[in-house]
Amino acid sequence: MSDSSTKKPTSRPKSKLSPEKYARLRAEAKAPYRGLRKFFYVAFGASGLIGAFVFLAQLAAGREVSSTLTNLGLQVGLVALVVWLFRWEEKQENKQ
Domain regions of the chain by residue span: 21-95
What percent of the chain is predicted at pLDDT more than 90? 53
Q: Looking at residue 62, what DSSP letter applies? A: T
pLDDT of residue 94: 80
For 2, phi then psi, to 5°, come to -110, 140
Distances (CA, A) of 94 to 6, 27, 72: 40, 11, 33
Distances (CA, A) of 72 to 27, 43, 44, 58, 69: 38, 18, 15, 10, 5
Of residues 63 and 43, more confidence is placed in 43
pTM of the predicted model as reported, rounded to 2 decimal places: 0.69
